[in-house]
């Protein structure tokens, strides 16, 4: 099945199943699937001009901190036909993870763990790596770009800072202290704020008080930090400025990363005002929320639940769950500590 004009599509990666699923965002009907030729697809981002979806292959086997074999590829998928077009080999770089597409300057960015950690720049026409920027942290994992394409922000897992990159000069311009490490950060659509969760699940500080820090991007200074009772992993900002936080819960205090995943219990999403950081509402979801995205009008949220192999669909007006998408059962047949739902993207053709 091909995508029709003006159709909204949700793409969801099944890491263990090697599949990238496509659902109609309104009817929840599955409309397509692409199977990765390489194990463990991870994160995704959209090139709207070319109607392409990029998918990072971070590890061929394992998870962050417990890697048996690194990946070094980024898949290129044609969205309208659900066809795998190409595989970008970024060697000698490896472990591409966080992807961000700079629409203004027409460039693809990917965080990498190779050579001390950094961000690589890929030209979308040649599909070649054309530049590299060091982040100063080997655990570079999540990356967001200012809407003007001038700066980028890298969350670096256990490193006690996030990196601010000058994308014009292609250099590290500042480190912002996040003492207990960070997970998936997010930038507001207007580019005024960056939101950073801490601590990192991969650090020795995972039992520290969970916090969310808000950064003013004009000064690159933290202007507000608030505390929460449960660990925050993904953060997302809707088009109307609401901040969505995915909280993890455990049967007991987390110790090792593998135990975190095995012993997780259903989590929840907090919806915050983007300036005051006041909690507007919470919604219960499934196990181990990993990514959050939203519809183009900001009324619907989508949460990939790593352990459950599901996507929770949220009403962001009334703060309630309205549907649960389940991935193919065969995706859960391979014994693993990370069975399913990973990167997600909301796509409008």
On whether the pTM is more than 0.85, the answer is yes
Mean pLDDT by 10 residues, the chain (349 residues): 77 91 96 95 97 96 84 98 98 97 98 96 98 96 97 97 98 98 98 98 85 99 98 98 96 59 83 98 97 98 95 98 85 50 94
30: tokens are 């599955």
pLDDT score, position 332 = 47
Residue 197 CA from chain centroid, whole number: 13
pLDDT attached to residue 319: 98
**pLDDT for the residue 336:** 47
Q: Per-residue pLDDT tens for 129-144?
A: 999 999 999 999 999 9
Domain 8-348, classified CATH 2.130.10.10, yes or no:
yes
Give the count of beta carbons closer than 10 Å to the beta carbon of residue 312. 27
How far apart, in whole angstroms, are the C-alpha atoms of residue 76 and residue 321?
32
Sequence-ordered list of residues with C-beta below 8 angstroms from that of 218, at least 6 positions apart, any chain: 192
pLDDT at 320: 98
Tens-digit pLDDT profile for residues 32-47? 999 999 999 999 999 9
Residue 261: the pLDDT is 55
For 136-269, where are the alpha helices, taking DSSP H only?
257-262
Q: Which pLDDT value is given to residue 337?
A: 45
């Amino acid at each position: 099945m091909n995508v029709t004009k003006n159709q909204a599509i949700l793409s969801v990666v099944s890491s263990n199943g090697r599949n990238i699923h496509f659902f109609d965002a309104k009817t929840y009907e599955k409309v397509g699937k692409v199977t990765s030729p390489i194990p463990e697809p991870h994160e995704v981002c959209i090139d709207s001009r070319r109607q392409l979806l990029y998918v990072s292959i971070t590890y061929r086997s394992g998870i962050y901190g417990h890697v048996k074999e690194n990946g070094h590829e980024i898949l290129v998928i044609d969205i309208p036909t659900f066809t795998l077009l190409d595989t970008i080999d970024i060697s000698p770089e490896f472990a591409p993870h966080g992807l961000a597409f700079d629409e203004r300057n027409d460039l693809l960015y990917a965080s990498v763990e190779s050579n001390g950690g950094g961000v690589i720049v890929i030209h979308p026409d040649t599909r070649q790596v054309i530049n590299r920027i060091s982040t100063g942290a080997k655990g570079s994992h999540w990356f967001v770009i200012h809407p003007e394409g001038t700066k980028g922000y890298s969350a670096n897992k256990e490193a006690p800072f996030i990196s601010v990159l000058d994308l014009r000069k292609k250099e590290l311009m500042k480190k912002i202290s996040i003492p207990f490490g960070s997970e998936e950060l997010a930038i507001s659509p207007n580019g005024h704020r960056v939101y950073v969760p801490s601590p990192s699940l991969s650090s020795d500080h995972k039992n520290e008080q969970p916090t969310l820090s808000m950064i003013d991007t004009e000064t690159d200074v933290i202007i507000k930090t608030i505390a929460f009772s449960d660990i925050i992993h993904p953060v997302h900002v809707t088009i109307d400025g609401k901040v969505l936080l995915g909280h993890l819960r455990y049967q007991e205090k987390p110790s090792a990363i593998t135990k975190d995943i095995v012993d997780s219990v259903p989590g929840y999403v907090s919806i915050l005002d983007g300036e005051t950081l006041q909690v507007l509402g919470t919604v219960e979801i499934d196990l181990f929320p990993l990514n959050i995205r939203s519809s183009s009008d900001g009324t619907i949220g989508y949460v990939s639940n790593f352990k459950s192999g599901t996507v929770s669909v949220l009403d962001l007006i009334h703060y309630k769950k309205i549907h649960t998408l389940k991935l193919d059962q065969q995706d859960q047949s391979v014994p693993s500590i990370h069975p399913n739902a990973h990167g997600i993207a909301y796509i409008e053709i």
